[in-house]
Amino acid sequence: MSVNAEQRKLAAIMFTDMVGYSALSQRDDKLALELLEEHRELLRKIFAEFNGTEIKTIGDGFLVEFNSALEAAQCAIAIQRALAKRNADAAAERRCLRRWSEYRLAHRATRGRRRDLRVDGCRTPDS
């Protein structure tokens, strides 16, 4: 296969977003960066437990690929539980909230060594 040939596969995609990060970074940039790094470390461990592959970070969010929708959903539940546990003992200003906008079942296309994602034929759970 040539380096520029496109490879396609079906994948479950998760996008995470740190809720309130922009507002926090305007109020306290140092705290925002500390919490962002803590979150990245925590979420990366959870992604690995469910065979998630980090495609890229986008600001305060992640774009993650899973082999199945089940793994993606189980990962999302584990993230919610881990954050609830972490936040229960944290001071209000150090609570980290995460959410993801939606799950998509998509074809992932790669060209050569580039790992960007092109989503076509995408379905959301309600479509």
Residue spans of the domains in the chain: they are 7-111
For domain 7-111, the CATH architecture is 2-Layer Sandwich (3.30)
pLDDT value at residue 76: 87
| Region for residue 41 given its phi and psi (left: phi exceeds 0; alpha: psi -120 to 50; beta: otherwise) | alpha
* 125 band by pLDDT with thresholds 50, 70 and 90: very low
Question: Tell me, what DSSP letter sits at residue 123?
Answer: B
Q: Which residue has the tokens 């881990």?
A: 82
Q: What is the pTM of this model?
A: 0.74
| Region for residue 20 given its phi and psi (left: phi exceeds 0; alpha: psi -120 to 50; beta: otherwise) | left
> In angstroms, rounded to a whole number, what is the distance separating the alpha carbons of residues 32 and 97?
12
pLDDT tens figures, 37-81:
988 999 999 999 999 999 999 888 888 989 888 998 899 889 888
**Could you count the other beta carbons within 10 Å of the beta carbon of residue 79?**
21
pLDDT value at residue 94: 78
pLDDT value at residue 33: 92
pLDDT value at residue 127: 38
pLDDT tens figures, 89-124:
888 777 766 554 444 555 555 555 555 555 554 444
